[in-house]
Amino acid sequence: MKKLVLILIAMAYLPALAAGQVVEEIVTRVNGQIITRSEYERSKDQLRDDVKQQDPANADKLYAEREKDVLRDLVDQQLLLEKGKDLGITGDTELIKRLDQMRKDMKLGTLEELEKAATAQGISYEDFKQNLRNQIVTQKVIGEEVGSHLSIPKEEEQQFYDAHKSELEQPESIKLSEILIAPQKPAADKAAAGNAAPDSSATGGDTAKTQDAASDSAKRAADTAALAAAEAKANDVLKQIRAGASFEDVAKKFSDGPSAAQGGDLGAFKRGTLAKELEDRTFAMKSGDVTEVIRTKQGYVILKVTDHQMAGIPSMKDVEPKLQDALYMQKLQPALRAYLTKLREDAYIYYMPGYVDSGASPNQTGPIETATAKTTDSKKLKKKKKLGIL
Protein backbone atom coordinates (compact mmCIF):
# COMPACT_ATOMS: atom_id res chain seq x y z
CA MET A 1 0.00 0.00 0.00
CA LYS A 2 2.87 2.36 0.88
CA LYS A 3 4.38 1.66 -2.54
CA LEU A 4 1.06 2.52 -4.21
CA VAL A 5 0.85 5.87 -2.40
CA LEU A 6 4.39 6.81 -3.45
CA ILE A 7 3.75 5.89 -7.10
CA LEU A 8 0.48 7.82 -7.17
CA ILE A 9 2.15 10.92 -5.71
CA ALA A 10 4.95 10.70 -8.26
CA MET A 11 2.47 10.30 -11.14
CA ALA A 12 0.43 13.28 -9.93
CA TYR A 13 3.51 15.50 -10.04
CA LEU A 14 4.85 14.30 -13.41
CA PRO A 15 2.79 16.62 -15.69
CA ALA A 16 3.71 19.72 -13.70
CA LEU A 17 7.38 18.76 -13.50
CA ALA A 18 7.48 17.97 -17.19
CA ALA A 19 6.07 21.39 -18.00
CA GLY A 20 8.69 23.06 -15.80
CA GLN A 21 6.12 24.32 -13.31
CA VAL A 22 6.67 24.88 -9.59
CA VAL A 23 4.52 22.55 -7.49
CA GLU A 24 2.69 24.50 -4.75
CA GLU A 25 2.33 22.79 -1.39
CA ILE A 26 -1.31 22.83 -0.30
CA VAL A 27 -1.83 23.77 3.34
CA THR A 28 -5.62 23.73 3.50
CA ARG A 29 -8.59 22.98 1.25
CA VAL A 30 -11.75 25.01 1.81
CA ASN A 31 -14.50 23.39 -0.26
CA GLY A 32 -13.18 23.70 -3.83
CA GLN A 33 -10.51 26.31 -3.04
CA ILE A 34 -6.98 25.88 -1.71
CA ILE A 35 -4.63 27.82 0.56
CA THR A 36 -1.01 27.29 -0.43
CA ARG A 37 2.17 27.29 1.61
CA SER A 38 3.37 30.45 -0.18
CA GLU A 39 0.14 32.30 0.73
CA TYR A 40 0.54 31.17 4.32
CA GLU A 41 4.17 32.35 4.47
CA ARG A 42 3.31 35.71 2.83
CA SER A 43 0.64 36.29 5.47
CA LYS A 44 3.16 35.60 8.23
CA ASP A 45 5.65 38.00 6.63
CA GLN A 46 2.94 40.67 6.42
CA LEU A 47 2.10 40.13 10.09
CA ARG A 48 5.78 40.64 11.00
CA ASP A 49 5.85 43.95 9.11
CA ASP A 50 2.56 45.09 10.69
CA VAL A 51 3.61 44.47 14.30
CA LYS A 52 6.98 46.18 13.71
CA GLN A 53 5.16 49.30 12.54
CA GLN A 54 2.57 49.17 15.33
CA ASP A 55 4.91 48.60 18.27
CA PRO A 56 8.61 48.11 17.41
CA ALA A 57 9.58 47.57 21.07
CA ASN A 58 7.17 44.63 21.53
CA ALA A 59 7.13 43.33 17.93
CA ASP A 60 8.41 39.85 18.79
CA LYS A 61 5.89 39.37 21.58
CA LEU A 62 2.98 40.60 19.43
CA TYR A 63 4.02 38.37 16.54
CA ALA A 64 4.17 35.32 18.82
CA GLU A 65 0.66 36.09 20.09
CA ARG A 66 -0.89 36.58 16.63
CA GLU A 67 1.04 34.07 14.52
CA LYS A 68 -1.24 31.24 15.68
CA ASP A 69 -4.20 32.99 14.00
CA VAL A 70 -2.64 33.37 10.53
CA LEU A 71 -4.22 30.22 9.10
CA ARG A 72 -7.52 31.03 10.82
CA ASP A 73 -7.62 34.43 9.09
CA LEU A 74 -6.88 32.88 5.68
CA VAL A 75 -9.69 30.35 6.13
CA ASP A 76 -11.99 33.16 7.35
CA GLN A 77 -11.30 35.14 4.20
CA GLN A 78 -11.91 32.17 1.90
CA LEU A 79 -15.24 31.40 3.58
CA LEU A 80 -16.36 35.05 3.35
CA LEU A 81 -15.34 35.28 -0.32
CA GLU A 82 -17.37 32.15 -1.11
CA LYS A 83 -20.33 33.62 0.76
CA GLY A 84 -19.89 36.80 -1.26
CA LYS A 85 -20.27 34.77 -4.46
CA ASP A 86 -23.44 33.17 -3.09
CA LEU A 87 -24.84 36.65 -2.33
CA GLY A 88 -23.83 38.04 -5.73
CA ILE A 89 -21.34 40.52 -4.27
CA THR A 90 -18.56 41.26 -6.76
CA GLY A 91 -17.11 44.49 -5.35
CA ASP A 92 -16.41 45.76 -8.88
CA THR A 93 -18.14 49.15 -8.53
CA GLU A 94 -16.61 49.89 -5.14
CA LEU A 95 -13.19 48.80 -6.43
CA ILE A 96 -13.29 51.40 -9.21
CA LYS A 97 -14.33 54.10 -6.70
CA ARG A 98 -11.50 53.26 -4.32
CA LEU A 99 -8.89 53.12 -7.08
CA ASP A 100 -10.11 56.48 -8.38
CA GLN A 101 -9.90 57.98 -4.88
CA MET A 102 -6.32 56.71 -4.60
CA ARG A 103 -5.58 58.33 -7.95
CA LYS A 104 -6.96 61.66 -6.70
CA ASP A 105 -5.06 61.43 -3.41
CA MET A 106 -1.84 60.82 -5.34
CA LYS A 107 -2.75 63.67 -7.73
CA LEU A 108 -2.55 61.43 -10.81
CA GLY A 109 -4.47 62.09 -14.01
CA THR A 110 -5.66 58.60 -14.93
CA LEU A 111 -5.95 55.06 -13.56
CA GLU A 112 -3.26 54.07 -16.08
CA GLU A 113 -0.89 56.42 -14.26
CA LEU A 114 -1.85 54.74 -10.97
CA GLU A 115 -0.98 51.36 -12.49
CA LYS A 116 2.40 52.70 -13.65
CA ALA A 117 3.08 54.12 -10.19
CA ALA A 118 2.33 50.75 -8.59
CA THR A 119 4.48 48.87 -11.10
CA ALA A 120 7.36 51.32 -10.56
CA GLN A 121 7.32 50.39 -6.85
CA GLY A 122 7.56 46.68 -7.70
CA ILE A 123 3.89 45.98 -6.92
CA SER A 124 1.83 43.69 -9.13
CA TYR A 125 -1.14 45.88 -10.04
CA GLU A 126 -3.38 42.88 -10.70
CA ASP A 127 -2.53 41.35 -7.30
CA PHE A 128 -3.09 44.73 -5.65
CA LYS A 129 -6.53 45.07 -7.26
CA GLN A 130 -7.48 41.52 -6.32
CA ASN A 131 -6.48 42.04 -2.70
CA LEU A 132 -8.48 45.27 -2.59
CA ARG A 133 -11.50 43.54 -4.18
CA ASN A 134 -11.25 40.75 -1.59
CA GLN A 135 -11.29 43.32 1.21
CA ILE A 136 -14.37 44.99 -0.26
CA VAL A 137 -16.26 41.72 -0.67
CA THR A 138 -15.45 40.46 2.83
CA GLN A 139 -16.42 43.81 4.38
CA LYS A 140 -19.74 43.81 2.55
CA VAL A 141 -20.51 40.22 3.58
CA ILE A 142 -19.73 41.04 7.22
CA GLY A 143 -21.92 44.15 7.02
CA GLU A 144 -24.88 42.33 5.46
CA GLU A 145 -24.68 39.00 7.29
CA VAL A 146 -23.48 40.14 10.73
CA GLY A 147 -23.45 43.91 11.24
CA SER A 148 -26.99 44.50 9.99
CA HIS A 149 -28.34 42.16 12.69
CA LEU A 150 -26.71 43.98 15.60
CA SER A 151 -28.75 46.40 17.70
CA ILE A 152 -27.54 48.96 20.23
CA PRO A 153 -30.27 49.95 22.72
CA LYS A 154 -30.14 53.42 24.32
CA GLU A 155 -29.73 51.79 27.72
CA GLU A 156 -26.45 50.20 26.59
CA GLU A 157 -25.22 53.52 25.21
CA GLN A 158 -25.93 55.19 28.55
CA GLN A 159 -24.19 52.42 30.50
CA PHE A 160 -21.14 52.60 28.22
CA TYR A 161 -21.04 56.40 28.52
CA ASP A 162 -21.24 56.27 32.33
CA ALA A 163 -18.50 53.62 32.51
CA HIS A 164 -16.07 55.53 30.25
CA LYS A 165 -16.66 59.17 31.22
CA SER A 166 -13.12 59.71 32.45
CA GLU A 167 -11.71 58.44 29.15
CA LEU A 168 -13.90 60.87 27.22
CA GLU A 169 -12.53 63.99 28.94
CA GLN A 170 -10.87 66.29 26.42
CA PRO A 171 -9.28 69.74 26.04
CA GLU A 172 -11.06 72.49 24.13
CA SER A 173 -10.65 72.03 20.39
CA ILE A 174 -12.13 73.09 17.06
CA LYS A 175 -12.33 71.56 13.61
CA LEU A 176 -11.65 73.95 10.74
CA SER A 177 -12.19 74.10 7.01
CA GLU A 178 -10.63 76.75 4.76
CA ILE A 179 -10.96 78.44 1.41
CA LEU A 180 -7.68 80.02 0.29
CA ILE A 181 -7.62 82.56 -2.52
CA ALA A 182 -3.99 83.12 -3.51
CA PRO A 183 -2.89 86.11 -5.63
CA GLN A 184 -2.13 85.06 -9.19
CA LYS A 185 1.07 86.24 -10.85
CA PRO A 186 0.13 88.22 -14.02
CA ALA A 187 1.24 86.76 -17.35
CA ALA A 188 2.95 90.06 -18.23
CA ASP A 189 5.00 89.85 -15.02
CA LYS A 190 6.09 86.30 -15.85
CA ALA A 191 7.21 87.43 -19.31
CA ALA A 192 9.11 90.39 -17.85
CA ALA A 193 10.99 88.03 -15.54
CA GLY A 194 12.41 86.30 -18.59
CA ASN A 195 13.66 89.57 -20.07
CA ALA A 196 16.44 90.54 -17.67
CA ALA A 197 17.91 94.08 -17.78
CA PRO A 198 20.98 94.46 -20.03
CA ASP A 199 24.44 94.35 -18.41
CA SER A 200 25.41 97.76 -16.97
CA SER A 201 28.83 97.63 -18.67
CA ALA A 202 27.08 97.71 -22.03
CA THR A 203 24.38 100.28 -21.29
CA GLY A 204 25.92 102.47 -18.65
CA GLY A 205 25.35 102.37 -14.89
CA ASP A 206 22.70 105.11 -14.72
CA THR A 207 20.62 103.52 -17.44
CA ALA A 208 20.72 100.14 -15.67
CA LYS A 209 19.66 101.68 -12.34
CA THR A 210 16.77 103.45 -14.04
CA GLN A 211 15.64 100.18 -15.65
CA ASP A 212 15.92 98.31 -12.33
CA ALA A 213 13.87 100.96 -10.56
CA ALA A 214 11.23 100.83 -13.27
CA SER A 215 11.17 97.03 -13.10
CA ASP A 216 10.74 97.07 -9.29
CA SER A 217 7.99 99.62 -9.56
CA ALA A 218 6.18 97.54 -12.18
CA LYS A 219 6.53 94.44 -10.02
CA ARG A 220 5.10 96.19 -6.96
CA ALA A 221 2.20 97.48 -9.04
CA ALA A 222 1.56 94.00 -10.42
CA ASP A 223 1.69 92.46 -6.91
CA THR A 224 -0.71 95.09 -5.61
CA ALA A 225 -3.09 94.41 -8.48
CA ALA A 226 -2.87 90.63 -7.90
CA LEU A 227 -3.61 91.08 -4.19
CA ALA A 228 -6.56 93.34 -4.97
CA ALA A 229 -7.94 90.78 -7.43
CA ALA A 230 -7.52 87.96 -4.89
CA GLU A 231 -9.27 90.02 -2.19
CA ALA A 232 -12.15 90.83 -4.53
CA LYS A 233 -12.51 87.15 -5.45
CA ALA A 234 -12.40 86.11 -1.77
CA ASN A 235 -15.14 88.63 -0.92
CA ASP A 236 -17.26 87.32 -3.79
CA VAL A 237 -16.75 83.72 -2.56
CA LEU A 238 -17.74 84.76 0.98
CA LYS A 239 -20.86 86.45 -0.44
CA GLN A 240 -21.85 83.14 -2.10
CA ILE A 241 -21.42 81.30 1.22
CA ARG A 242 -23.44 83.90 3.12
CA ALA A 243 -26.18 83.48 0.48
CA GLY A 244 -26.40 79.75 1.29
CA ALA A 245 -23.82 78.05 -0.96
CA SER A 246 -22.17 74.93 0.52
CA PHE A 247 -18.78 75.82 2.02
CA GLU A 248 -17.40 72.40 1.00
CA ASP A 249 -18.58 72.74 -2.61
CA VAL A 250 -17.22 76.29 -2.90
CA ALA A 251 -13.88 75.14 -1.45
CA LYS A 252 -13.60 72.36 -4.03
CA LYS A 253 -14.36 74.83 -6.82
CA PHE A 254 -12.39 77.95 -5.84
CA SER A 255 -9.83 77.21 -3.09
CA ASP A 256 -6.14 77.30 -3.97
CA GLY A 257 -5.22 75.42 -0.78
CA PRO A 258 -4.02 71.79 -0.66
CA SER A 259 -7.22 70.86 1.22
CA ALA A 260 -9.51 71.87 -1.70
CA ALA A 261 -10.19 68.27 -2.79
CA GLN A 262 -11.42 67.47 0.75
CA GLY A 263 -13.82 70.41 0.76
CA GLY A 264 -11.30 72.53 2.66
CA ASP A 265 -11.10 70.21 5.70
CA LEU A 266 -8.05 71.04 7.84
CA GLY A 267 -8.76 68.72 10.77
CA ALA A 268 -8.85 69.48 14.52
CA PHE A 269 -6.83 72.02 16.50
CA LYS A 270 -6.32 72.39 20.25
CA ARG A 271 -5.66 75.74 21.89
CA GLY A 272 -2.09 76.87 21.39
CA THR A 273 -1.61 75.22 17.99
CA LEU A 274 -2.87 78.08 15.77
CA ALA A 275 -1.43 81.56 15.19
CA LYS A 276 -2.76 83.80 17.98
CA GLU A 277 -4.81 86.02 15.64
CA LEU A 278 -6.55 82.99 14.10
CA GLU A 279 -6.99 81.30 17.48
CA ASP A 280 -8.61 84.40 19.02
CA ARG A 281 -11.08 84.58 16.14
CA THR A 282 -11.96 80.94 15.68
CA PHE A 283 -12.13 79.79 19.32
CA ALA A 284 -14.69 82.55 19.94
CA MET A 285 -16.98 81.03 17.26
CA LYS A 286 -19.62 78.32 17.39
CA SER A 287 -19.92 75.22 15.19
CA GLY A 288 -21.03 76.26 11.72
CA ASP A 289 -19.75 79.85 11.95
CA VAL A 290 -17.71 81.34 9.08
CA THR A 291 -15.09 84.08 9.42
CA GLU A 292 -14.75 87.23 7.35
CA VAL A 293 -11.99 87.34 4.72
CA ILE A 294 -8.60 87.19 6.52
CA ARG A 295 -5.30 88.36 5.02
CA THR A 296 -2.46 85.84 5.39
CA LYS A 297 1.02 85.35 3.88
CA GLN A 298 -0.49 82.95 1.31
CA GLY A 299 -3.30 85.28 0.27
CA TYR A 300 -6.86 85.64 1.58
CA VAL A 301 -8.51 82.91 3.61
CA ILE A 302 -12.03 82.17 4.80
CA LEU A 303 -12.37 79.76 7.71
CA LYS A 304 -15.33 77.72 8.88
CA VAL A 305 -15.58 76.19 12.36
CA THR A 306 -17.15 72.81 11.56
CA ASP A 307 -17.07 71.65 15.19
CA HIS A 308 -16.26 73.28 18.54
CA GLN A 309 -15.67 70.98 21.50
CA MET A 310 -15.43 72.65 24.92
CA ALA A 311 -12.97 71.39 27.53
CA GLY A 312 -14.20 68.72 29.93
CA ILE A 313 -16.45 65.69 29.54
CA PRO A 314 -18.70 66.06 26.48
CA SER A 315 -22.40 65.33 26.76
CA MET A 316 -23.63 61.93 25.67
CA LYS A 317 -25.38 63.55 22.69
CA ASP A 318 -22.10 65.08 21.45
CA VAL A 319 -20.25 61.75 21.49
CA GLU A 320 -23.15 59.45 20.55
CA PRO A 321 -21.64 58.45 17.16
CA LYS A 322 -18.39 57.47 18.93
CA LEU A 323 -20.30 55.48 21.54
CA GLN A 324 -22.25 53.66 18.85
CA ASP A 325 -19.06 52.84 16.92
CA ALA A 326 -17.35 51.52 20.06
CA LEU A 327 -20.35 49.38 21.03
CA TYR A 328 -20.77 48.15 17.46
CA MET A 329 -17.15 46.93 17.32
CA GLN A 330 -17.50 45.41 20.78
CA LYS A 331 -20.52 43.38 19.64
CA LEU A 332 -19.25 42.67 16.13
CA GLN A 333 -16.21 40.57 17.10
CA PRO A 334 -18.02 37.76 18.98
CA ALA A 335 -20.93 37.84 16.51
CA LEU A 336 -18.53 37.57 13.56
CA ARG A 337 -16.64 34.71 15.23
CA ALA A 338 -19.92 32.83 15.76
CA TYR A 339 -20.88 33.44 12.11
CA LEU A 340 -17.52 32.17 10.84
CA THR A 341 -17.83 29.09 13.06
CA LYS A 342 -21.19 28.35 11.43
CA LEU A 343 -19.66 28.78 7.95
CA ARG A 344 -16.94 26.30 8.92
CA GLU A 345 -19.52 23.78 10.06
CA ASP A 346 -21.35 24.09 6.72
CA ALA A 347 -18.13 23.69 4.70
CA TYR A 348 -15.69 20.87 3.94
CA ILE A 349 -12.26 21.84 5.23
CA TYR A 350 -9.11 19.70 5.12
CA TYR A 351 -5.83 20.65 6.83
CA MET A 352 -2.43 19.17 6.02
CA PRO A 353 -0.74 17.61 9.08
CA GLY A 354 1.10 20.19 11.18
CA TYR A 355 -1.21 23.10 10.33
CA VAL A 356 -3.69 24.30 12.94
CA ASP A 357 -6.73 26.54 12.41
CA SER A 358 -7.29 28.36 15.73
CA GLY A 359 -10.86 29.12 14.62
CA ALA A 360 -11.80 25.49 13.86
CA SER A 361 -15.07 24.17 15.24
CA PRO A 362 -15.31 20.70 16.82
CA ASN A 363 -18.46 20.21 14.71
CA GLN A 364 -16.89 20.90 11.31
CA THR A 365 -16.15 18.05 8.91
CA GLY A 366 -13.54 17.29 6.32
CA PRO A 367 -14.14 15.60 2.95
CA ILE A 368 -15.95 12.30 3.44
CA GLU A 369 -14.82 9.15 1.60
CA THR A 370 -18.00 7.71 0.10
CA ALA A 371 -18.71 4.11 -0.93
CA THR A 372 -18.61 5.18 -4.60
CA ALA A 373 -15.17 6.69 -4.12
CA LYS A 374 -13.94 3.48 -2.47
CA THR A 375 -15.25 1.35 -5.36
CA THR A 376 -13.61 3.64 -7.92
CA ASP A 377 -10.28 3.49 -6.07
CA SER A 378 -10.54 -0.33 -5.93
CA LYS A 379 -11.09 -0.53 -9.70
CA LYS A 380 -8.13 1.81 -10.34
CA LEU A 381 -5.94 -0.38 -8.13
CA LYS A 382 -6.90 -3.57 -10.00
CA LYS A 383 -6.26 -1.87 -13.36
CA LYS A 384 -2.78 -0.73 -12.27
CA LYS A 385 -1.91 -4.25 -11.14
CA LYS A 386 -3.08 -5.65 -14.48
CA LEU A 387 -0.90 -3.10 -16.35
CA GLY A 388 2.09 -4.07 -14.25
CA ILE A 389 2.43 -0.70 -12.58
CA LEU A 390 2.46 -2.37 -9.13
Torsion of CA 231, 237, 239, 241, to 10 degrees: -140
How far apart (Å, rounded) are the C-alpha atoms in residues 125 and 131? Answer: 10
Please, is 284 exposed, middle or buried when counting C-beta atoms within 10 Å of its C-beta (0-12, 13-18, 19+)? exposed
Cα distances (angstroms) measured from residue 376 to each of 349, 366, 383: 22, 20, 11
Q: pLDDT at residue 193 above 60? A: no
At 11, is the pLDDT very low, low, confident or very high (cuts 50, 70, 90)?
very low
Mean pLDDT throughout 30-59?
94
Instruction: Report the mean per-residue pLDDT for the chain.
Output: 84
Q: What share of the chain in percent tops pLDDT 70?
A: 80
How far apart (Å, rounded) are the C-alpha atoms in residues 147 and 302? Answer: 40
How far apart (Å, rounded) are the C-alpha atoms in residues 34 and 350? Answer: 9
Domain boundaries, the chain: 26-150+323-387, 173-192+208-309
Q: pLDDT at residue 185 above 90? A: no
Largest CA distance in the chain: 114
**CATH tag for 26-150+323-387 (out of 3.20.20.80, 3.20.20.10, 1.10.4030.10, 1.20.120.80):** 1.10.4030.10
At 212, is the pLDDT very low, low, confident or very high (cuts 50, 70, 90)?
low
pLDDT at residue 325, as a whole number: 94
CATH topology of domain 173-192+208-309: Chitinase A; domain 3 (3.10.50)
Q: Which residues make Cβ contacts (< 8 Å) with residue 240, sequence separation at least 6?
A: 250
Q: Which pTM does this prediction carry?
A: 0.64
Q: Helices (H) and strands (E) in the chain — how many of each?
A: 16, 7
Torsion of CA 237, 238, 239, 242, to 10 degrees: 130
pLDDT at residue 209, as a whole number: 61
From 5, 3, 6, select the one nearest 377 (Cα to Cα). 5
pLDDT at residue 262, as a whole number: 92
Tell me which of 73-82, 139-148, 207-216, 266-275 is least confident. Answer: 207-216
